[in-house]
Structure 1
Amino acid sequence: MARSKEKSDPTAVLRKAIETGHFMPSQRLVEADLAAWLGTNRSNVRLALGKLEQEGLVVSEPNRGARVRVISEQEALEILQVRASLESLIARQAAAKANAADRKRLRDILETMREAIDKEDFTTYSGQNGALHAEIRKISGHQTASRLLATLNSQIVRFQFRTILFPGRIHQSIREHTEIVEAICAGDQDRADKAMRSHLANVTETLERSLAALARHAV
């Protein structure tokens, strides 16, 4: 395992580990342990932790080292609000630029998402959801917005999966993504903008409802 990790970017491996919950919020990230786990040296680990701190995934504390940063519920909701503005801009540009090959890729991903729903495979659905948004970013060619979104998305992955599991949300989600894709494929920039804003407004509302339900059960 360590041998394969030596060929990987330590920053990318650590980022993925945080996003997927291998390292949990507030968990300490000990350089020596990470070096052994990654199959690299402590200097590379230190550089990786520095990059992840800039991305908002890690915090460093004097004399205590690094730990996974806790993203509050309020911050997660604020991030979704910021995402709505950036993603709608990207959807608009994707609608203006998408060619036949782009349109086929988007529809293929959408079909995989539908198949995941039929199989009740929420993990695959969530992954393909991310892939669809990434493809739209790629088509748009807006590098600055894409870079900002990559950082924001990595901070709230664990919250996003919670919305997919909310009762009835996954069927609403596929309808929203279908509208986004069809608007982009039609080259309708205004429709794509509106569809993306509506989608992320519903994601935000669902997360708020999910967090409220969680708080009620905790009482």
Structure 2
Amino acid sequence: MSTVLGEAAPAAAAEAVPETPAAPAAPAADARTAAVAAEPSVTDVIRDAIVRGEYAPNQRLIEADLSSTFGASRATVRTALLELAGEGLVERLPNRGSRVRAISLDEAIEILEVRMRVEGLCAAKAAANVTDDEVAELRRLRDDMTESVAEGDLVEYSRLNRHLDVRIRDLSRHATASEVLGRLHAQIVRHQFKLSSRPQRAKVSVLQHAAIIDAITARDPEAAEQAVHRHLQSVIDALRELAS
């Protein structure tokens, strides 16, 4: 983009009207730059595919195939896989490329135990920081989650659940905790998907999420933190029960 603009300048100068073409060019360039910035990166796209279960645990991730699938260069795909390895989603194998890292039940439980503390911190911070407009937003989200479970729309409930997790991190205004949680959550999403697809579990989960929202909107940091602890302990217990 910068090369094209750089080549256009001498032509404009030869016509002795450099200002005329330059004025409209800037907004167009800004719009194109904004559009590119809004597009998800290859790392984001592959991460989402792993999280959604499109690639199974231990499945090989072949750079040539990913390059063709996502329309990206091999170098870009290789960089994305290195980034995802740093997040714990991909495992790099010496002389054998990459594969989706399998997370055992025991490791998933350990991750949930860490999330319990960090998400509790975020919920407490959110309760201390939440504005009136954000209170209204969270209450609408609470109603939508309750309605989706009542209607048996577990796909929508799962989407709203993920949105709530992200919003609580945002409202905490705690960048370090948010970054940690983003990585931890992605690693065990497949285990939690097994639970969220069970109607009886959703009926329990939605009440726990409502309690978290109620504590945050009441601006009660201690209650918000405890509500998160109870919810994630319930997830741990349910995973153990499912495994047995």
TM-score, with structure 2 as normaliser: 0.82
2:156 paired residue number? 124
Distance 1:112 1:167 in 2: 16
Distance 1:84 1:10 in 2: 30
Q: How far is the alpha carbon of 1:211 from its aligned partner?
A: 1.2
Task: Describe how 1:53-202 pairs up with structure 2 within 5 A.
Answer: 53-166=85-198, 168-202=200-234
Contact in 1 for aligned 2:92/2:98 (Cα 8 Å): yes
Percent identity between the aligned chains?
Answer: 42
Contact in 1 for aligned 2:152/2:199 (Cα 8 Å): no
Q: How far is the alpha carbon of 1:166 from its aligned partner?
A: 4.0
Contact in 2 for aligned 1:166/1:206 (Cα 8 Å): no
Q: How far is the alpha carbon of 1:170 from its aligned partner?
A: 1.3
* Partner-residue secondary structure (3-state), 1:168: helix
1:209 paired residue number? 241
2:17 paired residue number? none
Q: Describe the superposition over 1:135-159 as per-residue Cα deviations: whole angstroms up to 9, x where unpaired.
A: 1111110110110000000011111
Contact in 1 for aligned 2:154/2:199 (Cα 8 Å): no
Matched, 1:52 2:56: no
Equivalent AA in structure 2 for residue 148 of structure 1: V
Q: How far is the alpha carbon of 1:115 from its aligned partner?
A: 1.6
* Partner-residue secondary structure (3-state), 2:103: coil
Unaligned 5+ segments in structure 2 are 1-35
Contact in 1 for aligned 2:103/2:188 (Cα 8 Å): yes
Equivalent AA in structure 1 for residue 207 of structure 2: R
TM-score, with structure 1 as normaliser: 0.91
Contact in 2 for aligned 1:85/1:197 (Cα 8 Å): yes
Q: How far is the alpha carbon of 1:167 from its aligned partner?
A: 5.7
RMSD: 1.3
Matched, 1:12 2:49: no
Matched, 1:37 2:69: yes
Taking structure 1 as reference, are residues 108 and 167 closer, same or farther at Cα in structure 2, changes over 3 Å only?
A: closer
Equivalent AA in structure 1 for residue 68 of structure 2: A
Contact in 1 for aligned 2:61/2:100 (Cα 8 Å): yes
Q: If you compute each CA radius of gyration, which structure gives the higher value, 1 or 2?
A: 2
* Partner-residue secondary structure (3-state), 1:14: helix
Taking structure 1 as reference, are residues 8 and 167 closer, same or farther at Cα in structure 2, changes over 3 Å only?
A: closer
Q: How far is the alpha carbon of 1:164 from its aligned partner?
A: 2.1
Q: How far is the alpha carbon of 1:8 from its aligned partner?
A: 3.3
Unaligned 5+ segments in structure 1 are 213-219
